[in-house]
């Protein structure tokens, strides 16, 4: 595995949202909380960057949903692709690895909210695990 790239590009499934972001990027988290599982269909794998380092080529179908007090999730309102997560007052924004055009330069650094993980799947790596946000 190589180092995380300096710039990443991605978007939603239908093409209504496309973006680029520049690093540095945070460590990859795999979130197993009940909200991420319902919205993403599985763990939400994400990296993050400073929100001003995220720019959009297309954002016509980008919508934001307040998933809990002070937290928002960005998704495509046409195809439903989960794209972003952000916390009010935090200068960083989480970007879904599944939304990236190329995501092979990343590896999971931690698993969070593992106490919420259902029993139908197992975590198959040795990355640190945290009961809550870690």
The pLDDT of residue 103: 81
pTM for the complete prediction?
0.91
**Residue 94: C-alpha distances to residues 14, 57, 124 (Å):** 20, 18, 23
Output helix, strand, coil percentages for the chain, rounded to the nearest 5.
10, 45, 45
What's the DSSP call for residue 27? Answer: P
Residue 134's pLDDT is: 65
Over the stretch 23-51, which tens digit does the pLDDT of each residue have?
999 999 999 999 999 998 899 999 999 99
Query: Mean pLDDT across the chain, nearest whole number?
Result: 93
Q: Please report, for residues 1, 21, 63, 96, the alpha-carbon distance to residue 75 in angstroms, rounded to integers and kept in the order given.
A: 29, 16, 5, 10
Q: What percent of the chain has pLDDT over 90?
A: 88
Beta strands 71-76 and 62-68, pairing class = antiparallel
pLDDT in tens, 48-57: 999 999 999 9
Total residue length of the chain: 134
Phi, psi of 125 (to 5 degrees): -130, 180
When pLDDT is cut at 50, 70 and 90, the band that residue 132 belongs to is confident
110 pLDDT more than 70: yes
Does the domain at 7-116 match CATH 2.170.150.70? Answer given as yes
């Amino acid at each position: 595995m190589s180092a995380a790239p300096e710039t990443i590009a991605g978007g939603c499934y239908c093409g209504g949202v496309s973006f680029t972001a520049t690093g540095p990027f945070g460590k990859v988290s795999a979130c197993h909380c009940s909200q991420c599982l319902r919205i993403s269909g599985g763990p939400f794998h994400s990296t993050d960057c400073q929100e001003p380092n995220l720019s959009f080529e297309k954002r016509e179908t980008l919508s934001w949903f307040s998933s809990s007090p002070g937290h928002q999730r960005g998704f495509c309102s046409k195809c439903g692709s989960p794209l972003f997560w952000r916390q009010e007052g935090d200068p960083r924004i989480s970007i879904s690895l599944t939304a990236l055009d190329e995501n092979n330069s990343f590896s999971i650094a931690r698993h969070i909210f593992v106490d919420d993980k259902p029993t139908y799947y197992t975590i198959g790596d040795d990355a640190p695990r945290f009961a809550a946000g870690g």
